[in-house]
Amino acid sequence: MDEIVPAFNATDAMNILALSMAPELDKGDYVVLTKAEHHSSIMPWRYVCKPRKCGILWVDVGDYGEIDLRSLEDIISSEKRIKAIVAVHVSNVNGVINPLREICRIASSEGCILFHGSGDAFIFFHY
């Protein structure tokens, strides 16, 4: 970790991350989000992608809202220029705990930055 940026809450942190990533995004680039993302994780990326003419790709989720890793792998291995992946670790909506370590492996295998919301994970894990 190179630096720590303070934020008021997880929503503010995602806004800061998206805005700081914006200069790195160009026409034809993509950001990957899961269909299980909270509205507050989606909107910052829509805000930065639209004026830069970059796209958002959506990862499918299973019946319980868990990330479909095959869908993520298919998107990542496509010929598209994917700059970042946004994935929730633990959902405060349905309690699903996504396999963050595996998502990190998939992201890093293609050199993508992974932004994950883990604010709701702290009550489930002892770090």
pLDDT tens, residue by residue, 8-54: 888 898 999 999 999 999 999 999 999 998 888 899 999 999 999 99
Residue 4 is assigned to a structural domain of this protein: no
Pairing relation of β-strands 113-117 and 55-59? unpaired
Distance CA 83, CA 4 (A): 21
Six-digit token string for 63:
């019946």
pLDDT tens, residue by residue, 78-122: 888 999 999 988 887 888 899 999 999 999 998 999 988 776 676
Rounded to the nearest 5°, which phi and psi values hold at 64? -105, 5
Residue 127 is assigned to a structural domain of this protein: no
* Residue 66 domain boundaries: 10-117
Domain tally, the chain: 1
Residues forming a β-bridge with 44: none
Alpha-helix residue ranges (DSSP H) falling in 1-127: 10-21, 39-52, 69-76, 100-109
Q: How many CB atoms lie within 10 A of CB 3?
A: 4
Residue 123 is assigned to a structural domain of this protein: no
Residue 17 is assigned to a structural domain of this protein: yes
Residue 3 is assigned to a structural domain of this protein: no
Distance CA 124, CA 94 (A): 14
Residue 5 is assigned to a structural domain of this protein: no
Residue 27 is assigned to a structural domain of this protein: yes
For residue 43, the domain's CATH number is: 3.40.640.10
Distance CA 82, CA 73 (A): 12
Query: What pLDDT is attached to residue 26?
Result: 96
Compute the residue count for the chain.
127
